[in-house]
Structure formats: structure tokens, C-alpha cells
Structure 1
């Protein structure tokens, strides 16, 4: 009797499982739809639990290297500047060597290696140690602080093993991953974990924050190492840990492979890394705003302003559009949109999906650089005026992007002030943006030259500036 009941129960469970497998996965009410992959499964037997990552490690580990950087810094003694000590004991400044250790990933058999910018920052000497313990001097091809990535090249005289990029880009939360690097300098180490979260944009590590979060143990020295999926492909470059003690607490972050590939391609082209610019100011969608707009949940970002003639405006985007996807990938804030757009090469087109009047529209937006002179040289103000001795530049989206400020800001900005100058006397500071002089708007360097020349002999100078987001108006007397 018991066997009969057990057999019936097994048959019922089998039929139920078959029926469930044949149904399409349904999203919960109010929850975003998710994609499911049939090749993902949890272990359901003792044999499955005893499976090993060794085959993946054997393929991936040879492409992960150690990166050593060295620089010489001046160490100032507490007695530096003291005439007595410097007379009898010489200069009180000593030179000392500072070294740092990180990891890297070979992404091209010719010896192209990607690592973190903070691993090689300020380095005067770079060495790479391969997994087989051979050492080579490395050349720095590109260092990009805004993405925290750097590209090196070594000459090994032979084709090197590489770690291929994850081309599919289909990583999901819960996927198994391996972190390979050199934590604490103990030697190459492999740790395992899962993808804890995707599209982390509020981490504050770099300007293009869009990180893969993992609970695989990541420690100092792992920076620049590989985050590898179960296909043995590079899904990200480990860049940081979240920890008060400096050790792993199960929260590590990796830069996604699509951004890594973009930076490497720029390095190989030998050209300056210039990111595409959308030309739209965006506003986050809060819960209250989503309700007022009739959205089922907060998502995307609202276009609040468009740069005239910019890529977004030319593609047909309008103020009030809600950008919800870029290239078919859901985005929920401005940082995510900027990241997705920045992974395109100049001249490409990004598919931007917006909600407009309750309807979805997909618009092709061309990837173009920000307009203006990216490397504009500051101009020294001369003559008899309150700005004499100040270094000023004319702002543009390209220059603003390089300076890391709002790309929509326009006008004249002070970048430096000479000592014992009129500008220093009146308290002008780097970062001040000059709005008006003598009641006239100052938008270009030509405007500034014209106004300063016209009022050259005046004793009273009404000036209006913006500092730290606040407007200040004063009348200065010469």
C-alpha cells in the first residue's frame, strides 16, 4: 500500500513539474518582467554538489596576471624649513619608494592587459608577472580615471593566453562567478560566489558607475583582476570592496566587460578616449513623480533639457520623454543611461526607448562627442580691472566633461588666480563662474574682453558670480 501511494505521489509530482516547465514564466503583478534561461539550474543531487570549478580555472587563470607599480615620493621631515636643522643636517626632505600591487587581465594575445587606474596611478615603473612567474616591464597605453581602468602592454615574444569577453552580456543575479586575482600579494587566488546585484550606480567609485556586485571574496590586491562566469568568460574587472576594515565582507564591485572592451579598443586605436555625449539633462523618476505620470513604478529618467543641435535633440527626443531602455536594457537613472551610451564607439547608434504620452518609442541616437574645445587653454586677464591676474576659460560641453562638471554650464569660469594680483585681492577663487560685469552678461571670452576694455578707467565694478551653486553680486572699487 505504501509503495502504491509513493508511486502515485511521484507520478503526480512529475506531471506537475512537466506542466510547470511547459508554461511561460509569468512576472508577479507590478514587478518588472525578467528573462529566464533554461541552461541555469540549481544542484539537486550529491553528485552535482561535488562538481568542481577546476576546468574553468585551468582555462582562465593563465590570463590573469600580477601588476606591480613603483613611484618615488618626497617625504617631508617635521623639521623641514627649520634653518637650524637644515644648516647642520642638510635638507629635511627625503626620497622614498612607494610600491603598490594589483592584478590584471590579458585581453589580447599580443600582450594587452587591462587593470585598474588606481593600481598604476602615478607609477614611474610598471612590471607584470604572468601566471607562470615570468616577469616583464610594462608600457602604459591608456589610463582613464573616470572609469578607473588602465591598459598596459608587455612584449613576451609570443602569443599569450587571453580571457575572452562575455559577448552575450546576459549575467543575472544569482549566477555563479569566480574572482581571480592576487589578494594581499600572497599569489594567484580563486574565490567563488554569485552575482549579488547588477547595475549598481550609487557606489561613488567612478564617474561611470554601473557595477556588478558579487559576494566572491575580493580583497586588496584583487583590484584589476577578473570576474569570470561559468563559461570561462570575462564579465567584469574587479575594482573595489565595500568594507570598513579593508577586508572582504562579501560586497565587491566589478566594472562590466562592455565598458572594459570600449576602453581597451580606444587604447589599441592609439587615440584619446572620448566618450559619446547624449546632450540631454535628465531628472530621476521618484515615487511621487511616477504616480503623477501614471507609471506603475518609478523607472527611467525624464528628459528635462536638451542641448540645441545635440545628439538627443537631433534624434527626436523631447522634453518630458522618459528614457526607460538603452539598447534593450532597462535603465533606472541618469548614471545607468550615461554608462550604456558611453559603451558605444563614436559614430555608432544607440537604441534609446522612451515613454511619450503613454506610448513606447525607440529612437536611434548617434554617438557623437560633446561639442567645444576639450583642451581649451586658460587665458590670463590683464589690464586695470578686478579680474586682473585671473586665469579664465570659456566653458563648453567638451571642456566641462573633461573637468567633471555639469556639461550644460556655459559662460566664463576662473581656473586659477595669481598671487599679489587684483583677482586675489578681491577674493576670486578657482571654480567661480562670472555671470555679469558692469551689468552686462558675460557668456564668451569676447564678451569679457569687450566689457573690460570699455570700462578700463572706471573705479566702480559691479560683478556677479556663481560660487558653489550660489549667486553673489558685489560692487568692487579699484
Structure 2
């Protein structure tokens, strides 16, 4: 079975979430009897929301009555706002350049996402996707003496293109420190290279899309905003300055692009925060595109 890597399990717990503040109903708040301060605040907020909802409803009814008295036909309630057309366009622009990545090594397998960055069909993904397949094989295979582990065979990488074709990929180079790896596929893949955002152009609050293959669901697009820039996070044994986002990302999204409304890549999705290791809580992290581009250029320059 393929190991969904990079986000949640096993990647997520590497980011250690702080303990919940008791004032927000976290661990240690109250005694489980519903009398804690977090519970009381929730009741107060809920009561306020009910009052607001009733006020809006009564105002709408009064407006409809006045309109009827004037001979006008009351209008139906407004439909939900449409998806901004720029985000629809960004998704259409990006999805043709995003692939699913499967890495097998001996008895180990890991999956994630990647995306094309040039006409030579170089792809960006996360290094830990490649590394985890090798680590899983090493932990499963005894060495020649029958004790310890063996590193297993060289990893075999296969990508699945947006149109469903599966193609072998070459590992051009890896940089564990930045968690970036560069792959390369044959020209026949015809992947559309994604545009990289300019350094320093990303702004807090701007809308973004996370694109990838969460749980093997190819071409999945989820939306959110840039929550913070230069967020200091500890991932594995390294500290990173990351782009924080609330766009939903899950196992299998790792290595995929985080893009802005213009379809430009602002980061590479790599991890999520978790509470007790239990899935996404709406706090994700992406490697900033400035760092990604610098590392990728170095790898491609050395490896071709």
C-alpha cells in the first residue's frame, strides 16, 4: 500500500502544535461538566448570533411587507456569492502542469505531488517523498548479516499526468535541508510549466489555491488565503521560514504548488500543523517560492 506522505501522517506531527490555551476550551479547561470558561464564552457568542439572526430576519420581513404595500414584488433572498472568476482561471491555468508522484524503493512506497517548472519538463516536489520510500524499504529489509537494515534499491519514481498517463521520472537531484527535490520526465509528457511568483510579491491575506493529489485524488484544488509570511516552523530536524495558509491540504498534497489568483506559484506545500497528530486543522505551511527557485536552479545546474 502506498504511504501518503508529507502531510498529516507522518509529516504533520513533526510540526509540534502548542498546547491549547485554557481560555479557548482546550486541554485542562473546566472539568468536563460544561462549566469551564471556554464553554461559557461559547454560550455567550451563540446567544449573540441568535439575536443577530433574528434581527436580520425581522428586518427582511418588514422590508418585504413595505415593498408589497408599494405594489412591488418582494425579491427572493440573494444566492450565495459566485466563485471569483480569477480563481477559476488560476485553477484552469495550473492544473495541466501538476502531477501525482509515486516513489517505490524495495518494500517501501510514498506518494505526493509535483509540478512542472520549465519546457525541459523538470518537476519540483518534496525531498521527503523520495526519502520516505527509501526509509520504509530500509526499515523493512534485513541486511546481509540478518540484522539491522539495508537501504534497499534505488528509488523508482513514476508520475501520473493530468490526462492519466503514467511515466517514469528521473531524480535529477535532492536537497534534504530545504526539502526540495527535482525530477525530470520525457518531453512526451508535454506538461505546462507553471509561472513562479516574483520574490517579495506574496501578501498576507491574498487568496491562494493548493493544488495536488490528496489521498490520491488527482487534480484536487482547494482555496484559502495567505495567513502569514516568514513563519518559523520546525519540520523534521530543520527549521524553515514558511508561508502559512488555511487552504485545506492533506496527505498527498505534499510537493504540490500553492498558487495565487494569477496562477503564480508562491510556495510548495510541505506540512500541516496538527493537534495530537489528528489531521488538518486549517494551518498549513509551504516552502517560499524564492527558496524553491534558488535550490531548484542549483540542482538543475549540477544535474542537467
Residues 127, 179 of structure 1: alpha-carbon distance in 2 compared, 3 angstrom cutoff: same
Alignment pair present for 1:253 and 2:285: yes
Check if 1:98 corresponds to 2:108.
Answer: yes
1:181 is matched with 212
Task: Name the structure where helix makes up a greater proportion of residues.
Answer: 2
Matched, 1:262 2:272: no
The answer to whether the Cα contact below 8 Å between 1:219 and 1:248 also exists between their aligned partners in 2 is: yes
Structure 2 counterpart of 1:236, from 253, 267, 270: 267
Query: Which of these residues, 93, 111, 122, is aligned with residue 59 of structure 1?
Result: 93
Map 1:439-458 → 2, pairs under 5 A: none
* Alignment CA distance shift 1:206-1:116 (3 Å): farther
Alignment partner of 2:128 out of 118, 130, 144:
118
Deviation at 1:172, TM superposition (A): 1.5
Q: What is the alpha-carbon distance in structure 2 between the residues aligned to residue 168 and residue 263 of structure 1?
A: 14
Task: With the length of structure 2 as denominator, give the TM-score of the two structures.
Answer: 0.63
TM-score scaled by structure 1?
0.41
Query: C-alpha separation between the residues in 1 aligned to 2:252 and 2:197?
Result: 23
Q: In terms of Rg, which structure is larger? A: 1
SS of residue matched to 1:187: coil
- Alignment CA distance shift 1:262-1:168 (3 Å): closer
User: Who is 1:288 aligned against?
Assistant: none
In the TM superposition, what is the alpha-carbon distance from 1:134 to its structure 2 partner?
1.3
1:173-221 deviation per Cα after TM superposition (whole angstroms, max 9, x unaligned): 1111000011111222110001111101133446351100001111111
Q: Is residue 70 of structure 1 aligned with residue 104 of structure 2?
A: yes
1:69-112 Cα offsets, whole Å, 9 max, x none, are 0011xxxxxxxxxxxxxxxxxxxxxxxx2211100011012110
In structure 2, which of residues 115, 119, 122 is the aligned counterpart of residue 109 of structure 1?
A: 119
Report 1:289-300 matches (<5 A).
none
Q: Which runs of 5+ in 1 are unaligned?
A: 1-44, 73-96, 273-478
Q: Is the 8 A contact 2:103 2:155 kept in 1?
A: yes
Higher relative contact order (CA 8 A, sep 6+): 2
Give aligned pairs, total: 204
Whether the aligned pair in 2 keeps the contact of 1:219 and 1:246 (CA below 8 Å) is: no
| Pairs within 5 Å for 1:41-440 | 49-52=82-85, 53-72=87-106, 97-121=107-131, 122=134, 124-157=155-188, 159-205=190-236, 207=238, 209-243=240-274, 244-270=276-302
Q: Distance in 1 between the 2:285 and 2:229 partners?
A: 10
Determine the C-alpha separation between the residues in 2 that align with 1:132 and 1:271: 28
Distance 1:271 1:51, change over 3 A: closer
Taking the aligned partners of 1:203 and 1:118, their CA distance within structure 2 comes to 14
Q: CA deviation at 1:155?
A: 0.6
Cα separation, 2, equivalents of 1:229 and 1:237? 12
CA offsets 1:323-342 (integer angstroms, 9 cap, x no match): xxxxxxxxxxxxxxxxxxxx
Distance in 2 (alpha carbons) for counterparts of 1:253 and 1:228: 13
In the alignment, is the contact (CA less than 8 A) between 1:110 and 1:158 conserved in 2? no
